[in-house]
Amino acid sequence: MLRRSLSVSSIDSQVTLVETDAQYIIAAGAHRRPLRQPRPNSQFTIGARRVIQVPKGTSAVTKLAAAGACIGLGAGIGYWVAKEKDTIPNAQDTRVLGSEIAGLKVPAVIPNTDYENEAKPAYYNDTATPMHQRMEALVLDLQDRLVVALESLEPSRKFIRDRWEREDGNGYGISCVLQDGEVYEKAGVNVSVIEGTLAPGQLRSMRERNPQTANKLNANEEYDFRVAGVSVVVHPRNPYAPTAHKNYRRFEVYRKSNKEAGPVLAWFGGGADLTPAYLFEGDVKYFHQTLKQACDAHDPQYYPRFKQWCDTYFTNIHRDETRGVGGIFFDDLEDKAPEDLFHFAYDAGSAFIKAYVPLVAKRMTMPYTLRERNWQLIRRGHYAEFNLVYDRGTKFGLMTPGARIESILMSLPLTARWEYMNQPEPGSPEAHLLEAVRTTTDWAK
């Protein structure tokens, strides 16, 4: 159904009141551009824009006052102009959205997706260099190669590189972030190389989760740590393109009283997983099979072991569903020689580029409607719930004195949505996704 709208503008902002059968929606922003996708029954943010609903039947004076207040909060006092505009679609309209897809082109070749046949870097076999320095080189290399691959799909923006130093001088990080692109609504590829003293809560958590760690670390002794890691989260704009996460790290623990003796404990951790809003089984199988190949090259038991670990770890217990369709996950890995585990981390970290970026290229130009966009935002809300409630990395970072909060919370989506008692229709694509995250599937078959 087409209805009439009222536009209220200032020099820097615009508010559009969209009349539908359900309510009015007020959309405000710091940039004058049309509202990409009007949404009913919600209050949310799109970039710098705010969307606030008011009941249908509100008087014109009240609507103008609300719109003016909305702009005033977002952009300061401006010059108000009220005018009627042409008809616009009802918020429930299923016409195609996503004007950004029109100009997107899939490159003939995505860089850095053929790691098996590429020459290994110098640090790969440099056994004369301490392992923590080689791990630092690895995570920086993984960051650079993934950024190049992701940017090959994005026509409008490049990653910003934000290098930061800890205030106490104990390490640094490089946060590569891309926001509000045509392909990526938000993508982060972060490296951190830090050291410090284990806080009591961190030591207690490490001892509780692993009996071997408890045997090696005395609860009454002070320890220092050193860690180098790369952490990745990509939230594409198109609802059909899946979100993905990757993290690889090496963690070393030293006795504070005798750090020169070397680490008393050292392990590798990490993994990669896929979180689609819509299920394309072929895509999920390809993702898992690519990770399995990287695992099988080092140990045929790695993939089934780490796949089950991933399904268990990435679970929203309060919803009785996994965050997505899984992948691999491992922690406290020290079952082989450090050199062998380092080579495994190299292959697994490199395999992620091959496993994931082609899926974004495959789905980023698919037309979508308001229905798909809203469902994507609901699933992102569930993603945020896991990261804030259960994720160990988030908890460890927030407990670390002097931690950089912006980098720790980089994994959260730019936009999300929570609807009261949302239930997809039986047999719908949305219900199919829920079935997948509430059951366990051997995707690598």
- Whether 248 shows a pLDDT value over 90: the answer reads yes
- What would the DSSP string read from start to end of 7-26? EEE-SS-EEEEEE-SSEEEE
pLDDT for residue 381 = 97
Contact of 396 with 249, CB cutoff 8 Å: no
- Whether 9 shows a pLDDT value over 60: the answer reads no
- Whether 165 shows a pLDDT value over 60: the answer reads yes
The values of phi and psi at residue 372, to 5°, are -65, -40
> Rounded CA gap, 2 and 239, in Å?
25
Alpha-carbon Rg for the chain, nearest whole angstrom, is 24
Between 238 and 202, the more confident residue is 238
- What is the pLDDT confidence band of residue 94, given thresholds at 50, 70 and 90? low
Say which amino acid occupies 303: Y
- Whether 277 shows a pLDDT value over 50: the answer reads yes
> How confident is the model over 63-78, as a mean pLDDT?
37
> Rounded CA gap, 272 and 413, in Å?
17
- What is the pLDDT confidence band of residue 46, given thresholds at 50, 70 and 90? very low
pLDDT for residue 75 = 31
- What is the pLDDT confidence band of residue 57, given thresholds at 50, 70 and 90? low
> How confident is the model over 410-427, as a mean pLDDT?
94
Catalytic residue among 31, 132, 235, 245: 245
Long-range contacts, 62-67 (Cβ 8 Å, 24+):
63/6, 63/17, 63/24, 63/26, 64/6, 64/8, 66/26, 67/6, 67/8, 67/15, 67/17, 67/26, 67/28
Structure tokens at 305: 């072991």
Between 24 and 372, the more confident residue is 372
What is the H or E stretch that residue 362 is in? helix 338-363
- Whether 252 shows a pLDDT value over 90: the answer reads yes
User: Is-catalytic flag, 245?
Assistant: yes
pLDDT for residue 35 = 35
Residue carrying the six token digits 């949505």: 417
> Rounded CA gap, 124 and 130, in Å?
12
Contact of 289 with 307, CB cutoff 8 Å: no
Weakest mean pLDDT among 53-67, 77-91, 145-159, 278-292: 77-91
What is the H or E stretch that residue 200 is in? helix 200-209
- What would the DSSP string read from start to end of 277-346? SS--HHHHHHHHHHHHHHHHTT-TTHHHHHHHHHHHHSEEGGGTEESSSEEEEEEEE-SS-HHHHHHHHH
> How confident is the model over 5-13, as a mean pLDDT?
37
pLDDT for residue 266 = 92
Q: What percent of the chain has pLDDT over 70?
A: 78
* pTM (2 d.p.): 0.77
Contact of 374 with 428, CB cutoff 8 Å: no
> Rounded CA gap, 304 and 374, in Å?
34
- Count of beta carbons in the 10 Å neighbourhood of residue 296: 13
The string of pLDDT tens digits covering residues 284-327 is 999 999 999 999 999 999 999 999 999 999 999 999 999 999 99
Weakest mean pLDDT among 55-69, 73-87, 113-127: 73-87
Between 142 and 24, the more confident residue is 142
Q: What percent of the chain has pLDDT over 90?
A: 62
Mean of the per-residue pLDDT values of the chain? 82
Weakest mean pLDDT among 54-58, 211-215, 316-320: 54-58
- Whether 224 shows a pLDDT value over 70: the answer reads yes
Collect all residues with Cβ–Cβ distance below 8 Å to 214 and sequence separation of at least 6: 207, 208
